[in-house]
Amino acid sequence: MLVSAAEMLKKAKAGHYAVGQFNINNLEWTKAALLTAEECKSPIILGVSEGAGKYMCGFKTVADMVKAMMEELKITVPVALHLDHGTYDGCYKCIEAGFSSIMFDGSHYPIDENVAKTKELVEVCREKGISLEAEVGSIGGEEDGVVGMGECADPKECKMVADLGVDFLAAGIGNIHGKYPANWQGLSFETLDAIQQLTGAMPLVLHGGSNNSDEEIAEAVKIGINKINISSDIKVAYYEKMREVLKDESLREPNIIQPSCIAAMQKVVEHKLELFRTTGKAALYGRRS
């Protein structure tokens, strides 16, 4: 059974660690994430972007695949299925499809409209026991062209959105999605600290966590990050292994080609779970069946 990510992140806040959100793109990625979480006895959040949802034939297909796979693989650790950077319509589609967590990315709306839509979704999610992530400021990325520094959110705006009743909050602290440019200046721990001071118990989210060094991640977790989104590092592991495997042109069967690619992704997930200090934390949830 899928669970909301709210309890996971409350526990992470109290225990000073971070839960990983690993984005999935197909069956192999889902299998890699679920198997590793189970092996590491770690709670996990599976992230699905709207593009990935479309690619996987819609959110219902994704939700049903994840639930069926959890049953087949006998997954006992807490798993949340989360919409990543959801549009207003996308949020409702995922709620309908059976997701247990959503992110409403209203960062492109004027602040008043972002607040109104977020408030509405807070009510809907609360009623259904689904967790809700909001974003303050805008977290840039490759599609925005080369940037020297990701945006830093205004701590007062963070506090205002946190007070709307969302379960966790993504705030820009200089992070961006995808690969960091050569002149990137690093995460702003000063901004993170200021946001943390104002938002208190609200778990904070680091997007684009793939390209941060292990030291940066450790420091961010120490200050108050409780959810870290990983996508690029898994992509790289997958495609590098796939290219290597396909050099052997005699290989034809997916069930021969894919397992080593899944293993390569599992290595990344395992390392991140260790780094976020979430390994073994499923034990905090009591016995599940």
Chain residues in the site for Zn ion (CB under 5 A): 207
Residue with Cβ nearer Zn ion (11 or 207)? 207
Rounded Cα distance, 249 and 8, in Å:
44
Active-site choice (84, 112, 163, 214) = 84
Residue written as tokens 């991640």? 217
Task: Please report how many Cα atoms fall inside a 13 Å half-sphere around the Cα of residue 42, on the Cβ side.
Answer: 28
Q: Which is nearer to Zn ion, 98 or 141 (CB)?
A: 141
CB of 160 to Zn ion, least distance (A): 21
> With the C-alpha atoms ordered 105, 110, 111, 113, is the resulting torsion angle positive or negative?
negative
C-alpha angle 100/89/206, rounded to 5°?
Answer: 55
CB of 208 to Zn ion, least distance (A): 6
Exposure class string for 53-91: b at 16+ Cβ within 10 A, else e: beebeebbebbebbbebbeeeebebbbbbbbbbbeeebb
* Nearest CB to Zn ion, comparing residues 31 and 207: 207
Whole-number Å distance between alpha carbons of 210 and 175: 10
Please, what is the minimum distance in Å from the beta carbon of residue 114 to Zn ion?
16
- Compute the least distance from the CB of residue 134 to Zn ion, in Å: 12
Half-sphere exposure of 45 (CA within 13 A, CB side): 33
CB of 142 or CB of 154, closer to Zn ion: 142
- Contact by Cβ (8 Å): 34, 79: yes
Q: Is 84 a catalytic residue?
A: yes
Which is closer to Zn ion, CB of 207 or CB of 272?
A: 207
Nearest residue (CB) to Zn ion, 76 versus 138: 138
The helix (H) or strand (E) run that includes residue 7 is helix 6-15
Residues paired with residue 227 on neighbouring β-strands, in sequence order: 19, 205
Closest approach of Zn ion to the CB of residue 246, in Å: 30
- What is the closest distance, in whole angstroms, from the C-beta atom of residue 74 to Zn ion in the complex? 31
Q: Are 135 and 151 in contact (CB under 8 A)?
A: no
Q: What are phi and psi of 135, to 5 degrees?
A: -120, 135
Nearest position to Zn ion, beta carbon: 207
Please report, in angstroms and rounded to a whole number, the separation of the first and last CA atoms in the chain.
9
Strand partners, 80: 45
- The DSSP 8-state label assigned to residue 180 in this structure reads P
- The catalytic site residues sit at 84
